[in-house]
């Protein structure tokens, strides 16, 4: 059966389901069961991989399911007005998106995709993660507009889904803990989802992930998920998880690195990194692709290229550039910024295109040789270390969109 036949069959099945839906006493479908196929079909239309690959992705996902409309997420804005296949990045206080440069307060800390634009987190401490102080949220659209969304405490990254015009943050209100979901275009509260007041580890409140109707709170010893429209809790895997994207998370258990379903922990993709190397997998914002983030090779060689995997099929492409030099576009391509040249590479073919962007930077100071002497607690066994301080100014640091962040 061809890919086109598969698509026609699924379309007919969906139509049949809609025809009979009004005559069946069916309860609201649990969010965990409506994560996969609707979004996966969108990708399959973009990248034809054949019927065998489609069948494999259905088996790995664990169920054949359809996305159901839920409120705001149905009305997607015009793709031409939002970050799409073009690279989105920031240098200092300028966010480069859709061919424009938009100023935001302070220095950019992180960039997060929504369907209404890119959500920018910035601060006055050079974009620092630790010691940043209160941070500012700003929505920047592909048309150059910006919306002030107010301040958030230090270390609180907003949870977003690239297909939703929303963001979420965990907040305490009195003696209760909530996941507060807001409109990315206005900052208005859309929902308050009660969360259990469990140990959040190093954070005052748990980091959140947002996937469709699911709000996922990552506590120290468990992961809690609730349907933000019904409040119902979904049983989840017991393994500690990082950021969840498109219903998947990257696991570091065992000798393989795996991408697992947040529903049941089953591996949708499992790969071995180069023998003796150290690294992990980093998911694209939509969860469709995973980048092998290799920090160290066994032979001590320099990392100059990166393997990117299709989570549904296991197919991979190799692109030029170390993983820490690569960001994700909203639609799952990868890109890097070298000087004023932005190179964007397809994660289905590996082919790349280059674009020259006029990036404004401030003059860098000359490198300075520094020497530091350290001793043990008794003032003995002292050693001296000399190095050249040539770190770029925070105003010139390139911040890449779509990456997973520490909080």
Nearest-angstrom CA–CA distance, 240 and 198 = 14
Q: Which of 97, 75, 78, 100 is nearest to 88 (CA)?
A: 97
Which domains can be identified in the chain, with CATH numbers?
3-68 (no CATH), 248-360 (2.40.128)
Query: Do 325 and 345 touch, CB atoms closer than 8 A?
Result: no
CB burial readout 286-308, b (16+ within 10 A) else e: bbbbbbbbbeebeeeeebeebbb
Report residue 225 as tokens.
């998920």
Extract the residue ranges of the chain whose pLDDT is less than 70: 1-85, 235-240, 253-255, 276, 296-300, 405-407
Task: Report the length, in residues, of the chain.
Answer: 407
- pLDDT at site 60: 25
Report residue 234 as tokens.
């979904």
Report residue 377 as tokens.
């607690």
Handedness of CA 21, 26, 30, 33 (dihedral sign): negative
Phi then psi for residue 323, to 5 deg, are: -60, -35
pTM score of the predicted model: 0.76
């Amino acid at each position: 059966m061809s890919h086109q036949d598969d698509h026609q069959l699924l379309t007919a099945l969906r139509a049949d389901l809609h025809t009979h839906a009004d005559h069946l006493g069916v309860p609201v479908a649990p969010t965990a069961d409506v994560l996969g196929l609707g979004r996966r079909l969108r990708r399959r239309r973009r990248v034809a991989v054949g019927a065998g690959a489609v069948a494999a992705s259905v088996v790995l996902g664990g169920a054949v399911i359809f996305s159901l409309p839920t409120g705001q997420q149905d009305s997607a804005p015009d793709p031409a007005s939002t970050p799409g296949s073009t690279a989105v990045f920031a240098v200092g206080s300028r966010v480069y998106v859709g061919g424009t440069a938009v100023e935001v307060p302070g220095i950019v800390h992180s960039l997060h995709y929504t369907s209404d634009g890119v959500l920018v987190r910035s601060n006055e401490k050079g974009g620092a993660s630790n010691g940043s102080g209160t941070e500012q949220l700003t929505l920047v659209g592909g048309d150059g507009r910006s919306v002030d969304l107010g301040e958030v405490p230090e270390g609180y990254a907003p949870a977003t889904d690239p297909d939703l015009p929303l963001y979420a943050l965990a907040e305490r209100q009195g003696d209760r803990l909530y996941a507060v979901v807001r409109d990315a275009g206005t900052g208005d509260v859309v929902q308050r989802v009660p969360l259990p007041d469990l140990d959040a580890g190093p954070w005052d409140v748990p980091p959140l992930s947002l996937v469709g109707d699911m709000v996922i709170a990552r506590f120290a010893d468990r992961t809690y998920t609730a349907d933000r429209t019904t409040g119902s809790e979904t049983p989840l895997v017991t393994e500690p998880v990082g950021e969840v994207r498109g219903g998947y998370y990257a696991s570091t258990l065992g000798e393989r690195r795996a991408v697992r379903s947040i529903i049941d922990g089953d591996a949708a993709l499992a790969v071995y990194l180069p023998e003796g190397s150290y690294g992990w997998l980093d998911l694209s914002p939509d969860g469709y692709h995973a980048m092998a983030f290799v920090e160290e090779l066994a032979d001590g060689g320099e990392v100059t290229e990166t393997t990117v995997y299709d989570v549904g099929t296991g197919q991979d492409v190799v692109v030029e550039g170390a993983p820490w030099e690569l960001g994700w576009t909203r639609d799952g391509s990868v890109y890097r910024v070298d000087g004023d040249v932005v190179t964007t590479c397809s994660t289905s073919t590996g082919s790349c295109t280059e674009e020259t962007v006029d990036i404004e930077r401030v003059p860098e100071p000359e490198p300075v040789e520094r020497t530091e002497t350290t001793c043990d607690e008794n003032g003995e066994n002292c050693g001296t270390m000399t190095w050249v301080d040539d770190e770029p100014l925070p105003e010139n640091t390139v911040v890449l969109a779509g990456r997973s962040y520490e909080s």
